[in-house]
């Protein structure tokens, strides 16, 4: 594999990519299957607002535009509004002919599967029910459940779905803290009764990459041993800050579908950030999709759910491609003045802004140099003047933060007024 795969030939020697050294194969040879949980698990955060249906339809449209394959769009068993929203989304996907598989969640009980089957029948849209049930010993102990109870409830719910022609993914909550003895019985039971997918859940963000590998390989061996045609989903949470890396490893270790939410919104510290997955999959060469609407997607979800985007958030945050540091700015400006946008986008950034619809921003602050000031003047149509540059840099050095454009313009006016008064 070429060490700088995907780079234009003249740039091949400019970045030594340790990520690709000894890489014998791409991260996966399977089609990338992304599953968006923003409108279900993402809305379980206690800090989010549940968007109105118009916003949800806009979000679903953006999911499809980004190449996301499937989405969990709600819990129709939760009440009339939840049911109506899932039904409206299914109708929108049908009418707009979106290449997005509509999925809905519920507990692994017949009463939660009934509304999903009802929506499928009324809309004519094939749905997948993501039927979840706690599987770990700690959850069983807290709930006072026996394994036999879980097996019976699972069999009844999946049998109901099979009778209704409803596809089922069997979701074992807290899989990463469940014993192989219990999982063996639960998975075999689900497959025997007709589940087409198994979802391995890191519900409390417990797993490390080694745990991801062991669990997926163990599950693959069970499915192979049964001679079944069953897919594996990976659903991660970010309690230990490992959600994105765990999910990338899950893909490499053989997961067929990987889950995430916009900005990683969700319970506690949230889920895997699907936008960060998309960025990494693009940079790894696993996808060549047009992601110029990715920023719009995240901003739309943030606005609809009332979740502020942190300034330092990857790709979308206000500071993601913004610098006021002299050394950094000088390198970017030199590349821009050569007319080399490719170079300007990478000399101080591992994520090329232009590929995702963003731009490099050069600003002026206490860590700036003359190049920052001259670039700002040039970009804002101001005549170059060395004395003015030094005056503005002095203002910046006396400040404890990056200057706003209005402050710089006021300083320019102050300098010009002083120069006019002295006749200089």
Strand partners, 198: 170, 232
Tell me if 265 sits within 8 A of 48, measured CB to CB. Answer: yes
Q: Predicted confidence band at 1 (pLDDT cuts at 50, 70, 90)?
A: very low
Backbone angles phi, psi at 133, to 5 degrees: -155, 140
Say what the pLDDT of residue 125 is. Answer: 98
133-175 residue pLDDT tens: 999 999 999 999 999 999 999 999 999 999 999 999 999 999 9
pLDDT at 2: 46
Helix boundaries (H) for 68-109? 80-95
> Which pair of structure tokens corresponds to residue 157?
């719910």
Answer yes or no: is pLDDT of 307 > 50: yes
Average of pLDDT values for 376-383? Answer: 90
Least confident range from 18-27, 40-49, 53-62: namely: 18-27
- Among 18-22, 260-264, 381-385, the range with the most confident prediction by mean pLDDT is 260-264
Strand blocks (E) in 135-265? 167-173, 197-202, 231-236, 257-260
pLDDT in tens, 123-134: 999 999 999 999
Determine the pLDDT at residue 420.
80
pLDDT tens, position by position, 309-360: 999 999 999 999 999 999 999 999 999 988 888 999 999 999 999 999 999 9
pLDDT number for residue 6:
62
Q: Give yes or no for a contact between 362 and 329, defined as CB atoms under 8 angstroms apart.
A: yes
The helix/strand count (H/E) of the chain reads as: 15, 10
Q: Tell me, what DSSP letter sits at residue 76?
A: G
- Averaged pLDDT, 91-106: 98
Question: What CATH number labels 9-305?
Answer: 3.20.20.70
Average pLDDT score over residue span 94-121: 98
Closest CA to 371 of 349, 353, 389, 344: 389
Using one digit for the tens of pLDDT, what is the confidence trace for 177-235?
999 999 999 999 999 999 999 999 999 999 999 999 999 999 999 999 999 999 999 99
Using pLDDT thresholds of 50, 70 and 90, give the confidence band for residue 18.
confident
The proportion of the chain whose per-residue pLDDT surpasses 90, expressed as a percent, equals: 87
Domain coordinates in residue numbering, the chain: 9-305, 322-422
* Mean pLDDT across 263-288: 96
Checking if the pLDDT of 12 tops 90, the result is: no
Picking from 251-255, 257-261, 336-340, which range would have the lowest pLDDT averaged per residue?
336-340
């Amino acid at each position: 594999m070429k060490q700088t795969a995907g780079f234009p030939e003249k740039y091949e020697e400019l970045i030594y990519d340790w990520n690709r050294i000894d890489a014998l194969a791409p991260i996966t040879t399977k089609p990338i299957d992304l599953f968006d949980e923003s409108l279900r698990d993402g809305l379980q955060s206690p800090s989010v607002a549940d968007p109105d249906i118009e916003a949800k339809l806009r979000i679903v449209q953006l999911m499809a535009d980004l190449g996301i394959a499937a989405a969990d769009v709600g819990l129709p068993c939760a009440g009339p509004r939840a049911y109506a929203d899932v039904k409206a989304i299914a109708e929108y996907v049908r009418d707009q002919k979106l290449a997005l598989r509509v999925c809905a969640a519920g507990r692994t009980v017949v009463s939660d599967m009934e509304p999903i089957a009802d929506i499928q029948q009324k809309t004519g849209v094939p749905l997948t029910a993501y039927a979840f049930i706690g599987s770990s010993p700690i959850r069983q102990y807290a709930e006072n459940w026996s394994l036999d109870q879980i097996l019976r409830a699972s069999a009844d719910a999946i049998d109901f779905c099979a009778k209704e022609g409803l596809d089922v993914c069997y979701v074992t909550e807290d899989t990463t803290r469940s014993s192989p003895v219990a999982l063996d019985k639960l998975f075999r039971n689900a497959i025997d009764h007709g589940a087409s997918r198994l979802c391995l859940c890191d519900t409390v963000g417990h797993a490390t990459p080694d745990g991801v590998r062991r669990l997926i390989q163990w599950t693959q061996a069970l499915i192979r041993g049964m001679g079944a045609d069953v897919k594996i989903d990976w659903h991660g949470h970010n309690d230990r800050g490992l959600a994105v890396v765990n999910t990338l490893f899950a893909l490499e270790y053989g997961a067929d579908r990987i889950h995430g939410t916009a900005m990683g919104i969700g319970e506690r510290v949230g889920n895997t950030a699907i936008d960060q997955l998309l960025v990494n999959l693009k940079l790894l060469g696993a996808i060549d999709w047009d992601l110029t609407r990715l920023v719009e997607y995240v901003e739309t979800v943030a606005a609809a759910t009332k979740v502020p985007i942190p300034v330092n958030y990857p790709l979308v945050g206000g500071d993601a491609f913004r610098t006021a540091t002299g050394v950094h700015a000088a390198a970017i400006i030199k590349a821009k003045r050569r007319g080399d946008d490719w170079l300007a986008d990478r000399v101080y950034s591992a994520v090329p802004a232009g590929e995702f619809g963003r731009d490099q921003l050069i600003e002026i602050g206490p860590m700036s140099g003359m190049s920052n000031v001259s670039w700002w003047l040039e970009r804002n149509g101001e005549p170059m003047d060395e004395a003015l540059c030094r005056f503005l840099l002095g203002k910046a050095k006396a400040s404890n933060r990056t200057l706003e454009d209005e402050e710089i313009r006021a300083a320019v006016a102050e300098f010009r007024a002083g120069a006019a008064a002295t006749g200089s």
